Amino acid sequence: MSSNVRDEALSPGSPLLNKTAVVTGASRGIGRAIALRLGRMGASVAICARKRADIEHTAASFRQEGIRALPIVADVTVAGDVERLIERTSAEFGEIEVLVNNAGIGLFGSFYERSESDWDAVLDTNLKAVFLASRAVAARMIRSGGGHIINISSLASKSAFSGGAIYCASKWGLMGLTACMAEDLRAHGVRVSVICPGSVNTEFSPHAGRPPATLLQPEDVAHAVATLLTQSPESFISEIDLRPLKKV
């Protein structure tokens, strides 16, 4: 798509124009909504997921809106895949100003009934992947003197519930990782923030039959990301708790 068409598709006040963003787990659901919002704000967006057909379909739909989208197949639990994701994005779009660590999975059930492989899958995806991707962009952001890393956690990072041991462990760990990353990077002008949504209405939601009005929508999380990226230059919103207005 030509630059003229792209410019016409974006509002003159696009706050992320000429910026580069990476969103993990972006082929559907929350990740897709976040990536779409960033693209509509003017960013060139690299989106990654494990399934090529899914991520290419998502990128094609973005391009129809005039968004520069780069689909990359990557397993974010593998360091080599993450390095290739960051290198390819930088080569295509320039240095990365925004990283949204969204990829995540949930496996539920009594801890004594879960397997070691269940533990590894959840902790690798929800925690290790954030470490790998953030480490891959940190030095670049330090060199450029700024940037945003936004981690998508969950209100499960603050509440214990039956059957949630592995998932909660990953999200509680993510909160600690995020807070320490923020302290490591804030002196370099790099913000590290976390968003903790409640139950979100996606195709993977475990809340079948629950009234939609009592669930968040993926776009609500995307709006929170946009809020973090448009805060005043001297402020630092470190954490957002996000709940549906109506309770069950």
* CB crowding 87-107: b at 16 or more within 10 Å, else e: eebbeebeebbbbbbbbbebb
For this structure, is 167 an active site residue?
A: yes
Task: Answer yes or no: are the C-beta atoms of 212 and 184 closer than 8 Å.
Answer: no
205, 244, 241: which is closest to 30 by C-alpha?
Answer: 205
φ, ψ (nearest 5 deg) of residue 35: -60, -40
What 3-state class would DSSP assign to 234?
coil
CA 66 to chain centre: 21
Mapping DSSP onto H, E and C, the string for 2-20 reads: CHHHHHHHCCCCCCCCCCE
Q: Which one of the listed residues 62, 93, 167, 172 is annotated catalytic? A: 167
Please name the residue that has the structure tokens 């945003």: 148
Sheet of 147-152: strand order equals: 69-73, 44-49, 20-24, 98-101, 147-152, 190-197, 239-242
* Catalytic center residues: 167
